[in-house]
Amino acid sequence: MLSSGIHILTITASKKTKKIYLLVSKQTMCLNLRPWLRGFSELFFPRNCKGCNSSLLHNETYLCRRCISNLPRTGFETWNENPVFQTFWGRAPIEFASSIYYYRKGELIQQLIHSLKYRNNREAGLFLGRIAGRQLIKSKLYLKPDYIVPVPLHPKKLRSRGYNQSELIACGLSETLGVPVSNELMMKIKHTASQTRKSHYERWENVDGIFKTREQQAFENTHILLIDDVITTGATLEACCNALLATPWVRVSILTIGYASR
Ligand SMILES: [Zn+2]
């Protein structure tokens, strides 16, 4: 019996849905059970940090505060002519560009992005989008966009992966920034081979003309925040930008989670 005099008749826990089911006396229907249900749920299904495996505190999700603070922040969002912005000098006339973390091999940030792209870890994308949004919104250089547009995948790739990793990041960002995601109006019209082993010129050649906007009018006179997981040479983002910049009066900014320095 609870202190409020409510009788719990049965408690069942489902590992699959991660929910606790309570069969209680009729009175409980009027009570807000959520706060203690959550605590109760954590008793049965403790949540651990995906970085260090320690137990997460009540207000932490996915990563503990310590692991978040150990991620290699770039601070580029507070610096107008940062290295990501400079990547596009002479290539695409953008408003602003930034990456939130240095993308380094063997580090947690690489593991998170790798599991998002190749191991169906969709939660990582939403989480990274949310924390990126929290950093971006604090910057004095932040200009609220009208739409968040994830770099699209070719339909063939989307079918084999089952989701677009950049769209998940965009959804996390959208929650924090309060800006809608538009994933219908940009499309990838050519299936391209992986960029990983290509030279700078080959990467550019590989992606030239691969993106197209569906309805240019929808983007007219708007500011778009273009999202990708990692920037390396910027060839993919440049191709995407150029497709968007064909729209009259459009302004484009770029944000990625990782910055792979060359
Ligand atoms: Zn941790």
Distance (angstroms) between ligand 1 centre and the Cα of 104 equals 18
pLDDT for 81 beyond 90: yes
Distance (angstroms) between ligand 1 centre and the Cα of 254 equals 29
Distance CA(201)–CA(193), nearest Å, equals 14
Q: What is the pLDDT of residues 177-219, one digit of tens each?
A: 999 999 888 888 888 766 566 666 565 566 777 898 888 788 8
Q: Are strands 211-213 and 186-188 parallel, antiparallel or unpaired?
A: antiparallel
Distance CA(10)–CA(61), nearest Å, equals 29
CA 188 from centroid of its chain's CA atoms: 19
pLDDT for 73 beyond 80: yes
| Two structure tokens written together for 192 | 């391209």
Distance (angstroms) between ligand 1 centre and the Cα of 121 equals 17
Distance (angstroms) between ligand 1 centre and the Cα of 60 equals 10
What pLDDT sits at residue 72? 96
Token look-up 């990501």 returns 84
| Two structure tokens written together for 63 | 């990563």
Distance CA(166)–CA(96), nearest Å, equals 18
What is the second-level CATH architecture of the domain 72-259? 3-Layer(aba) Sandwich (3.40)
Distance CA(23)–CA(69), nearest Å, equals 41
Distance (angstroms) between ligand 1 centre and the Cα of 16 equals 24
Distance (angstroms) between ligand 1 centre and the Cα of 196 equals 30
Which residues are in the CB-under-5-Å shell of ion ligand 1?
Answer: 49, 51-52, 64, 67
Distance (angstroms) between ligand 1 centre and the Cα of 136 equals 22
Q: What is the pLDDT of residues 12-46, one digit of tens each?
A: 555 555 555 544 444 333 345 555 555 555 656 67
Distance CA(91)–CA(29), nearest Å, equals 61
Model pTM score: 0.80
Contact in structure between 76 and 70 (CB atoms under 8 Å): no
Distance (angstroms) between ligand 1 centre and the Cα of 70 equals 9
Name which residue leads in pLDDT, 192 or 162: 162
| Domain span(s) for CATH 3.40.50.2020 in the chain | 72-259
Of all residues in the chain, the percent with pLDDT exceeding 90 is 63
Distance (angstroms) between ligand 1 centre and the Cα of 61 equals 10
What pLDDT sits at residue 16? 53
